[in-house]
Chain A
Amino acid sequence: MAQYVAQRLLQAIIAIFGVLTIVFVVMHLSGDPTLLLVPQDASAEMIAQLRSQLGFDRPIGVQYLDYLGGLAHLDFGDSIVQRVPALDIVLSRLPYTIQLAAGALVVAIGFGIPAGVLMATNRGGIIARILSAVVVTGQSVPTFLSGILLIFVFGVTLRWLPTSGSGDFASMIMPSIALGALSMSTFARMTRISIIDELGKDYVRAGRARGLSLSQVVARHVLRNASIPVITIAALEIGNLLAGAVIIETVFAWPGIGQLAIQSIQSRDFLVVQVIVLLISFVYVLTSVLADLVYVIVDPRIRLVR
């Protein structure tokens, strides 16, 4: 077990390191922010001076090592634009994104999993058909479009919900749905397939042979067995929700890290972008480790063999 954890940890560090390097290189190759920071009529001399002051005139390898050196001391650098620690800026926006992602996760799991169960157990029924229409819609409408559609229908036309802003429950509803819709479809499909797969197994017939009803077998045995692939999806989806937040926060003017990421990329605020990327990769890694821990709880074959 300890060896397994160590192995996972090593994998995680390598993965985060890789992502970080790629983003660093891409950001630097696409130009530095000096030009955006100086007045329009600045002389070439002024620009060069600022560039060397910010350290962008050094070879990229040197800049990279310098950055890593800072990270080793948990120094994520300062925002070039706002001149305060990049980490502080990101952390101040993070609660909004967590709030939004949590709302989206509630939509995705709270609707997706029961829908999957119903679709699997009422195959061919009217409920299953309605749900599968909802699921197909959720998975085929692009996130930005569903966001805009929701704003148009419920915000502009019906005026039921606020179209932007953050804070209260009402303002969370539309962005949560828009962000969660795709995940909801994924959860519903995975749950459905997984349950149908389990229902065909011999232990289901054996359960009924000892006098259980099909729904008792589903509740006592099938759901648990079917949950294993769904847990894998859940881990990935949490990361995907954070990534999807970049678009949704922009559509709904939601002041989270997604919106911050877009703004920082536009102003070439490298260090802020790097912190956001680090954070999202960290969440991917963390959720996949969490998923492994959940497997250990659910599946004795993993718990007792490892």
Chain B
Amino acid sequence: MSADPIPLLSVENLTIEIGGASVVDDVSFHVAPGRVMALVGESGCGKSLTSYAILGLLPDAAKRTGGRIRLHDLDLSALSEREFRKARGKDISIIFQEPSASLDPLTTVGSQIADAYRTHNKVSRAEAYDKARQMLADVGIPDPDRRLHQYPFELSGGMCQRIMISIALICSPRVLVADEPTTALDVTIQAQILDLMKKLVSERGTAIVLITHDMGVVADIADDVAVMYAGRVAEIAGVHSLFAKPCHPYTALLLASVPTLDDAPKSDLATIEGRVPTPDEFGEGCRFASRCPLVTDKCRIEQPPLFDCGDGHRSACWHIDRMPELMEAAA
């Protein structure tokens, strides 16, 4: 991956355990200012937990048992709760996966947006509401004055999503973690939100961690991509390199399963056979072994580390050299 500039957000060897199983295992990535890192992977692979860990908001059941998170040169994982609080929403913000549930149903959305601003800025209520109104206009909500005084239940899912985006962006954070920020939105609004994010990146130099299932969105906005599988990084690379020359069988299959306009899903590789192992099924070997077309005995015994395959493109596979074989079969 192209990590030349000094990273703003560094996730280093992050490990999260739930009930003894490492549901996030040794995950590392870096995001420089003005760059977008996409986290992709099947449901349950640990994307959201990773995002919670970045904000220091893991659920009670989950424990960070290793690694650290750094914001520039500040070690977030060493901060006390009180110190961390000052960074949340101000230096580093998050857009959660469930927008409607993330709003208090009994409080107007305007009050919740203004509250986010007042938590970090000493301003009057009226000023905070002005700022909130401005934010709603920025995320493309028509008639912001009326919307400010509405309750979450009066708004559509897409509208709630944009309210959450307003809350996340109102303090101009340096780092934005966005968990499926465009899934609930229709195509036009989705494009609008992606444009807004591109603007943040190019004008303010915001660093974005974008969690998504949508390879189209990845191609559109990401600079780098980390492909996660069962809690581990399978492959991490610059977006062009990843699409052009996937170095992990899982990525290759994932890309092949994305239907494109000109060709129907290809052959039997279009869907990945089998299922993701559950955390208690994680063994000593590669977690993808049970579904991998290139699997050998070594894969079942020993977990592959991330190997460099040129240009910062790295893949956790023992058989990177056999990838052309797989690509040919897919073609």
Q: What residues of chain A have their CB less than 8 Å away from a CB belonging to chain B?
A: 201-203, 205-213, 220-221, 224-225, 298-301, 304
Min Cβ gap A52→B in Å is 63
Q: A221-B107, A300-B151 are in contact. Are A206 and B88 (CB under 8 A)?
A: no
Determine whether the beta carbon of B106 is less than 8 Å from that of A304.
no
Q: Complex: how many Å from CA A206 to CA B101?
A: 9
Name the A residues within 8 Å of B153 (CB-CB): 300-301
Name the B residues within 8 Å of A210 (CB-CB): 88-89, 93, 115-116, 119, 167-168
Partner of A225, one of B86, B105, B164: B105
Q: Which A-chain residue is minimally distant from B88 (CB atoms)?
A: A211
Q: What residues of chain B have their CB less than 8 Å away from a CB belonging to chain A?
A: 52, 55, 57, 59, 81-82, 85-90, 93-94, 96, 98, 101-107, 115-116, 119-120, 151, 153-154, 164, 167-168
Determine whether the beta carbon of B57 is less than 8 Å from that of A299.
no
Min Cβ gap A226→B in Å is 10
Min Cβ gap B93→A in Å is 7
Name the B residues within 8 Å of A209 (CB-CB): 55, 57, 88-89, 93-94, 96
Determine whether the beta carbon of A225 is less than 8 Å from that of B104.
yes
- In the assembled complex, 12 residue pairs joining A and B whose CB atoms fall closer than 8 Å, in A order, are A201-B101, A202-B101, A203-B102, A205-B57, A206-B103, A209-B55, A209-B57, A209-B94, A210-B89, A210-B116, A211-B86, A300-B106
Min Cβ gap B180→A in Å is 13
Min Cβ gap B139→A in Å is 16
Determine whether the beta carbon of A208 is less than 8 Å from that of B57.
yes
Name the A residues within 8 Å of B86 (CB-CB): 211
Interface centre among B87, B90, B105 (most CB of A within 10 A): B105
Q: Complex: how many Å from CA A208 to CA B119?
A: 11
Name the A residues within 8 Å of B106 (CB-CB): 221, 224-225, 298-300
Name the A residues within 8 Å of B104 (CB-CB): 203, 207, 220-221, 225
Determine whether the beta carbon of B89 is less than 8 Å from that of A211.
yes
Q: Which B-chain residue is minimally distant from A299 (CB atoms)?
A: B106
Q: Which A-chain residue is minimally distant from B59 (CB atoms)?
A: A205
Q: Complex: how many Å from CA A232 to CA B185?
A: 37
Q: Complex: how many Å from CA A202 to CA B87?
A: 20
Determine whether the beta carbon of B98 is less than 8 Å from that of A202.
yes
Determine whether the beta carbon of B88 is less than 8 Å from that of A203.
no
Q: Complex: how many Å from CA A225 to CA B90?
A: 26
Name the A residues within 8 Å of B89 (CB-CB): 209-211
Min Cβ gap A118→B in Å is 18
Name the A residues within 8 Å of B88 (CB-CB): 208-211
Name the B residues within 8 Å of A206 (CB-CB): 96, 102-103, 164, 167
Name the B residues within 8 Å of A304 (CB-CB): 151, 154
Min Cβ gap B190→A in Å is 21
Name the B residues within 8 Å of A203 (CB-CB): 101-105
Q: Complex: how many Å from CA A270 to CA B88?
A: 68
Q: Which A-chain residue is minimally distant from B117 (CB atoms)?
A: A210
Min Cβ gap B150→A in Å is 9
Name the A residues within 8 Å of B59 (CB-CB): 205
Name the A residues within 8 Å of B103 (CB-CB): 203, 206
Name the A residues within 8 Å of B93 (CB-CB): 209-210
Determine whether the beta carbon of B57 is less than 8 Å from that of A211.
no
Q: Which B-chain residue is minimally distant from A204 (CB atoms)?
A: B104
Min Cβ gap B52→A in Å is 8
Q: Complex: how many Å from CA A298 to CA B82?
A: 31
Name the B residues within 8 Å of A299 (CB-CB): 106
Q: Complex: how many Å from CA A304 to CA B153?
A: 10
Q: Which B-chain residue is minimally distant from A205 (CB atoms)?
A: B57
Q: A206-B103, A209-B55, A209-B88 are in contact. Are A301 and B151 (CB under 8 A)?
A: yes
Q: Complex: how many Å from CA A203 to CA B168?
A: 13
Known: A202-B102, A212-B119, A221-B107. 8 other contacts (CB 8 A): A203-B102, A205-B57, A210-B88, A210-B115, A210-B116, A211-B119, A224-B107, A298-B106
Name the B residues within 8 Å of A205 (CB-CB): 52, 57, 59, 96, 102
Min Cβ gap B147→A in Å is 14
Name the A residues within 8 Å of B102 (CB-CB): 202-203, 205-206
Q: Please provide the 8 A-B residue pairs with the shortest distance between their CB atoms, ordered closest to farther.
A: A210-B89, A206-B102, A211-B89, A202-B101, A210-B116, A221-B104, A211-B119, A300-B151
Q: Complex: how many Å from CA A220 to CA B119?
A: 13
Partner of A301, one of B105, B116, B119: B105
Min Cβ gap A231→B in Å is 13
Q: A203-B103, A225-B105 are in contact. Are A211 and B151 (CB under 8 A)?
A: no
Q: Complex: how many Å from CA A162 to CA B90?
A: 60
Determine whether the beta carbon of B105 is less than 8 Å from that of A211.
no
Q: Complex: how many Å from CA A304 to CA B98?
A: 24
Name the A residues within 8 Å of B101 (CB-CB): 201-203
Min Cβ gap A168→B in Å is 42
Name the A residues within 8 Å of B120 (CB-CB): 211
Name the B residues within 8 Å of A211 (CB-CB): 85-90, 116, 119-120
Q: Which B-chain residue is minimally distant from A217 (CB atoms)?
A: B104
Q: Complex: how many Å from CA A298 to CA B115?
A: 19
Name the B residues within 8 Å of A225 (CB-CB): 104-106
Q: Which B-chain residue is minimally distant from A225 (CB atoms)?
A: B106
Min Cβ gap A135→B in Å is 23
Q: Complex: how many Å from CA A208 to CA B94?
A: 11
Q: Which B-chain residue is minimally distant from A298 (CB atoms)?
A: B106
Name the B residues within 8 Å of A301 (CB-CB): 105, 151, 153
Min Cβ gap A224→B in Å is 5
Min Cβ gap B231→A in Å is 20
Min Cβ gap B165→A in Å is 12
Q: Complex: how many Å from CA A208 to CA B88?
A: 8
Q: Complex: how many Å from CA A171 to CA B55?
A: 56
Q: Complex: how many Å from CA A202 to CA B115?
A: 17
